[in-house]
Structure 1
Amino acid sequence: MKRKKVFVSGCYDMLHSGHVAFFKEASSYGDLYVGIGSDETILHYKGRKTVYSEQERLYMVKAIRYVTDAYINAGSGIMDFVETLEMVKPDVFVVNHDGANSEKEALCKKLGIEYVVLDRKPDEGLKARSTTSLRKEGSMLPTRLDLAGTWIDQPYVSEFAPGWALTISLEPTFDIQERGGLSTSTRNMMKKIWPVQLPDGDPETLAKLAFCFENDPIKRQQGGHISGAQDALGICMPGLCRQYYNRSFWPEKLESCHDREILDWLESHLCLIFMFPRRSNVSVTVNSAFEREKKGELTYAEVGRMVTDLTRAADDCWKAILDKNLAAFASAYRDSFHAQVALFPAMMQPGVQDCIDRHAADGQVMAWKMAGAGGGGYLILVVNNREAFCANHPEAICPVIRRRDY
């Protein structure tokens, strides 16, 4: 008896186990033929470029054992498969529940094709997958950790004393908590243009694109806050990066360290502890040294000395890291934290000091500071022996520094 022909159609970008399970179930109705949306169709219909080109997607779909053959659809829009359907002349058209609509059903009725709607269901033991959920949850965009010199990327800070900000780009090897000081707002913004991963290209150029996208002219006209460039640069620039700010949102100079031995050393002495999300009603800039200077409570020179303490600590951190001098690094790191809090005392919200005290009591902890603007979020610890510390603190996260591709 001649087997029936079965047809399905879709984008099949970011090919995953949910697609394979769908192909498997659809092929139970007969020999399976697949129509694939073209790059141009996806760009115009979904408003984004594909992760994989149409030829790559065709290659991958054809390689799946449940598929008899596959084609790139010649049409456009949601009904781009019509010409492929007429060429294949299937007996059955299968769609999943999300892809079902009255137009497809009416076309099948007109052509005498059986119309079958399937519910999404993963194979036994596998997690349910969809491209949408992967785009929301499966982003491989890095995040950034600010090591020292935080706040210097704001012109109202660097006008008192220019200096360096130090960042490291982190692989997304853990669930990154929102409002935690790891630049999630910038990272979430970047997902709008690069949903899955950073594209190939010069890291500084990518950072500049992200910075300009986040801080668009309309936002500036409406008086919105301008995000510091160290967020975008910290995410995009691999390894250890320092950026020199002098009365401008964009740094005058950039320097990076990609020495694997140094990065391995730095990585081995850092741990993250998530305390609690920064509370939505908290402003860490309240009662800052800069507000007090405007009120006349502090002189310009006094604030300048405070900012100089911040920039000096960043310099000392950089030198200690390059020398792999743990004692000097820990000392400079503590200085960086104290300088930040002196400038922005509201960083120390209720609960922060308790968390510091609990973990500082461990003999492995040598220094600490809060990630980002503080007020909560992640506590960064400099530890003598990361293995020993993590054995006593299962909640600790061991960050992985993103290395440059050679």
Structure 2
Amino acid sequence: MTKKVFVSGCFDMLHSGHVAFFKEAATYGDLYVGIGSDATIEKLKGRNTITSEQERLYMIDSIKYVKEVFVNSGSGILDFKEELVQLNPDVFVVNEDGFSSMKEEFCNSLGIELKILRRVPDADLPARSTTAIRTSGNCSLPYRIDLAGTWIDQPYVSKYHPGWAITLSLEPIIEYNERCGMSTSTRNAAKKIWPHYLPFDKPEKLAEILFKFENTPGSTLISGAQDAIGICMPGVVRHHYNNGYWPTKFESIHSEATLSWLEKHLCMVLLWPREQGLDLLKETYINEANVKSLTDSADNVWEAIKSEDLEKFAESFLESFNAQTKMFPEMVNQKINAEIAKYKDKALAWKLAGAGGGGYLILVSEKPIEGTMRINIRRKEVL
């Protein structure tokens, strides 16, 4: 009997990369495709679909590798749960950037084999992704990840001890989900000023413009400057805070060797979007000793990056995360700790992107970890 194979995704702006994915998945058996509804994609990605679910159904149904296609009835990352139970396939196939431990656990509970495929173009065609196609004529604004010391960009933290935050600017090689610690809210604000791409100007100036635009006069909750800086300033940047919202000074690393070294040893895995209404300030332990631990670890991370010392980098990276969660314990919970535990024998260190509560888990590793996403650091432009 032929096996049943299931894949799920947005498949917005259908391209050759999708077809290559279907072709490879179909080698395992009859292929069934579940697509995210327009409403699901809008919630996860923070945008409307380029191609409606009706059009996506029509086009995918015409692909010879696909036996059947349907719209998933659920919502969120696991919008396909009901369909998976009803279909009961033998194999669930995902791309590396589509893997999540929640999918793995759900497959295990149903006795379904999960296969992870690499993105490989077929027939000598160029590599394609929906994000790349969208950014070529739409929005190519960067994302950012926070490496160490973050939370220090809030005066209610830095007033206890000054110190540095370290951010990394990322090319938008994939479309990161909303409410997942990738500064999508600040990026969405940036779209209102620069709908397609950052202007060719001094990065620090652009960061200040974005910070002031997002935090209008009279705002009661001030977004940290690290988000605007991480989006607008390329490479690895550290910014120093001393009881103020804007940094007192900046330092950057743009060495190609160092950036490539970081790309080699950093990867990410999707957990789930942060729950609505989560109060990260519900319980805090902000004092001089704890803030100093945060700033000391950030100093050590910076020195480890400059010297490309992986052991020191991993140790300090984890110390920075532990310092964050000691001050803000609502960043983590039992569910998140269970996810982190799955990578403790594969990774050297870990932290949550952004303010935590879910989102993406950033891992430091000596070798690539299967099922994780690599990153592409944005390089400096010559002005």
TM-score for both structures, normalised by structure 2:
0.64
| Structure 2 partner of 1:373 | 355
Please state if 1:231 is matched with 2:207. Answer: no
Separation in structure 2 between the aligned mates of residue 278 and residue 260 of structure 1, nearest angstrom: 34
Match of 1:250 among 220, 236, 246: 246
Residue of structure 2 equivalent to 1:355: 339
Give 2:315's aligned amino acid: S
Partner of 1:231, secondary structure, is: helix
After TM superposition, give the deviation of residue 281 of structure 1 in Å. Answer: 2.0
- Aligned-residue offset at 1:355: 0.8
Match for 1:404: what amino acid?
A: K
Residue type of the partner of 2:361? L
Distance (whole Å) between structure 2 residues aligned to residue 179 and residue 350 of structure 1? 19
C-alpha distance in 2 between matches for 1:195 and 1:321: 33
C-alpha separation in 2, matches of 1:231 and 1:405: 20
Q: CA deviation at 1:175?
A: 2.0
Question: Using the alignment, how far apart are the partners of 1:349 and 1:200 within structure 2?
Answer: 42
Corresponding position: 1:383 with 2:365: yes
Q: Distance between the aligned counterparts of 1:359 and 1:398, measured in 2? A: 16
Deviation string for 1:3-49 (max 9, x for gaps)? xxxxxxxxxxxxx99xxxxxxxxxxxxxxxxxxxxxxxxxxxxxxxx
> Whose Rg is larger?
1
Check whether the contact 1:289–1:342 (CA below 8 A) recurs between aligned residues: yes
Aligned residues: 255
Equivalent-residue separation in structure 2 for 1:214 and 1:366 (angstroms): 36
Equivalent position of 1:342 in the other structure: 326
The equivalent of 2:375 in structure 1 is: 399
Q: Match for residue 307 of structure 2?
A: 323
* Distance in structure 1 (CA, Å) of the matches to 2:380 and 2:160: 34
Matching residue of 2:210: 210
The match for 2:81 is: none
Per the alignment, in what secondary structure is the counterpart of residue 268 of structure 1?
helix
Preserved CA contact (<8 Å) 1:287 1:344: yes
Structure 1 residue matching 2:343: 3-state secondary structure = helix
Distance in 2 of aligned mates of 1:308 and 1:134:
43
Unaligned runs of 5+ in 2: 1-12, 15-57, 64-132
Counterpart CA distance in 2 for 1:175 and 1:232 is: 18
> What secondary structure sits across from 1:165 in the alignment?
strand
TM-score of the aligned structures, taking structure 1 as reference length: 0.60
SS at match of 1:213: helix
Write the letter of the residue equivalent to 1:274.
L
> Structure 1, residues 56-79: CA drift from partner, whole Å, max 9, x if none?
xxxxxxxxxxxxxxxxxxxxxxxx
State how far apart, in whole Å, the 2-side matches of 1:284 and 1:272 are.
22
Amino acid at match of 2:213: F
Matched, 1:165 2:147: no
Is residue 267 of structure 2 the alignment partner of residue 271 of structure 1?
yes
- Kindly provide the CA deviation profile for residues 197-249 of structure 1, in whole angstroms up to 9, marking residues without a partner as x: 1111000010001000000114x2xx2x1000010001100000000000000
SS of 2:361's equivalent in the other structure is strand
After superposition, what is the alpha-carbon deviation per residue over 1:98-146, rounded to whole angstroms, capped at 9, x for unaligned?
xxxxxxxxxxxxxxxxxxxxxxx99x99xxxxxxx958x9421000010
Residue 280 (structure 1) shift: 0.4
For residues 174 and 359 of structure 1, the distance between their equivalents in structure 2, rounded to whole angstroms, comes to 22
How far, CA to CA, are the matches of 2:381 and 2:150 in structure 1? 27
Partner residue of 1:197?
197
Hey, what does 1:259 align to over in structure 2?
A: 255
Partners of 1:138 and 1:276 in 2: CA distance: 26
Report what 1:52 is aligned to. Answer: none
Q: Secondary structure at the match of 1:400?
A: coil
Give the distance between the partners of 1:280 and 1:243, measured in 2 at CA. 30
Aligned to 2:125: none
Q: Kindly provide the amino acid, as one letter, of the partner of residue 197 in structure 2.
A: Q
What letter matches 1:372 in structure 2? G
Q: Displacement of 1:361 after TM fit?
A: 2.6
Q: Which segment is superposed worse, 309-318 or 196-205?
A: 196-205
User: Shift in Å at residue 350 of structure 1?
Assistant: 3.8
In structure 2, what is the Cα distance between the partners aligned to 1:284 and 1:353?
A: 16
SS in structure 1 of the partner of residue 342 of structure 2: helix
Q: Which amino acid aligns with 2:329?
A: P
Tell me the secondary structure at the aligned position of residue 289 of structure 1: coil
Q: Confirm or deny that 1:333 pairs with 2:317.
A: yes
Partners of 1:181 and 1:286 lie apart in 2 by: 18
Equivalence for 1:72: none
2:42 aligned residue: none
- Tell me the equivalent position of 2:174: 174
* 1:349–1:376 CA contact under 8 A, matched in 2: no
1:140 — aligned with what? 140
Equivalent residue of 2:378, what SS?
coil
Within 5 Å, which residues of 2 pair with 1:36-51? Answer: none
Give 5+ residue unaligned stretches, structure 1: 1-15, 18-120, 126-132, 291-302
CA distance in 2, matches of 1:202, 1:174: 25
Deviations 1:259-281 (A, max 9, x none): 11011101110001110100002
